[in-house]
Structure 1
Amino acid sequence: MSKVLEVTPPIKSSPDKFYDFFKYHTGDLITVFPASFKSVQILEGEDGKVGCVKLWNYFIGGIPMTMKLRTEAINDAEKSITYKALDGDVIKLYKDFQFTITPGNGVAKWTIVYEKAAELVPPPEIYGVFAIAITEVVDLHLLNLTH
């Protein structure tokens, strides 16, 4: 049974710019947030399109991880993008793991939908903390671009 974890960290940049970053420029995370993101490779499709599949190498909690992510849905009217994990370390813990980013006025809402692979697996709270850190770094980056 799927469960939901939501975090809504504040943002000062415009929702349009924040949305645009996650739609077209997620690869920039390796230069914007090099402490956590080591590499990204497009395996299928193209940035900004549903079906784009990327392989990410990143660190979470100091542990090196990989995740193959597919862009599942893009809703320009609502400024929301949904990604689904297809493979990688997260799939060892969760048989289903997807997240949606929806920036609004003053907040970036991250909705993580997951299903544990086993009863003893903890909720993916570390990914909620990671989403907050990503939001802070991207927001600061976007604010610096406009000054």
Structure 2
Amino acid sequence: MTLYGKLETDVEIKVPADKFHELFSSRPHHVSRASPHIVQACKLHEGDYGKPGRIVIWSYVHDGKAKTAKELIEAIDEEKNSITFRVLEGDILDEYKSFVVTFQVTPNDTGNVVHWTFEYEKLSEEVAHPETLLQLAVDVSKDIEAHLITA
């Protein structure tokens, strides 16, 4: 068995791609307003919002437990509405040697699609693939959609 993995999913949203992207790139601390039952906080640790190289610390709930993740923003592409995050520290690294999250928002016939990609290396074969974390990304995406629609 391989320890490396990749999971992907699409989430259809009915809000502008640039608005969804901008929330994560320039105002990630507002994600907790959109999805307070999942994301408790996002604090800037280093760097500037909207810029690659920024490090943020997320406080969130996963599988009913409070968790944290310190993430480096590796890439932000305003034209493609994509962002790549690398987990540097936190609960995720209790099970994964490396964990990279990328999302890109693109238009479709009914609005836009958020394409989430998780690339990871498990610490051992006993570690499950991160399907529940991927579902968390889907749930947060839907919460952000609802928040942006009412804003």
Q: TM-score, normalised by structure 2?
A: 0.92
- Deviation >4 Å, runs of 4+: none
Cα distance in structure 2, aligned partners of 1:44 and 1:126: 28
Q: Contact 2:70 / 2:90 at 8 angstroms: preserved in 1?
A: yes
CA offsets, 1:28-84, max 9 Å, x none?
Answer: 122221111122221110111111111111101211111101101111221110001
What percent identity do the matched residue pairs reach? 31
- 1:8 equivalent in alignment to 2:10: yes
Give the root-mean-square deviation of aligned CA atoms.
Answer: 1.1
The structure carrying a bigger strand percent of its residues is 2
CA offsets, 1:112-131, max 9 Å, x none?
Answer: 11110111000000111001
1:20 to 10, 19, 22: 22
1:63 to 62, 65, 70: 65
Cα distance in structure 2, aligned partners of 1:108 and 1:8: 6
Residues 1-147 of structure 1 correspond to what in structure 2 (within 5 A)? 2-105=4-107, 106-145=112-151
Cα distance in structure 2, aligned partners of 1:27 and 1:135: 15
Question: Gaps (5+ residues) in structure 1?
Answer: none
Cα distance in structure 1, aligned partners of 2:144 and 2:34: 7
Cα distance in structure 2, aligned partners of 1:25 and 1:42: 10
Count of matched residue pairs: 145
Moved more, 124-133 or 71-80: 71-80
Secondary structure, in 3 states, of the residue corresponding to 1:77? coil
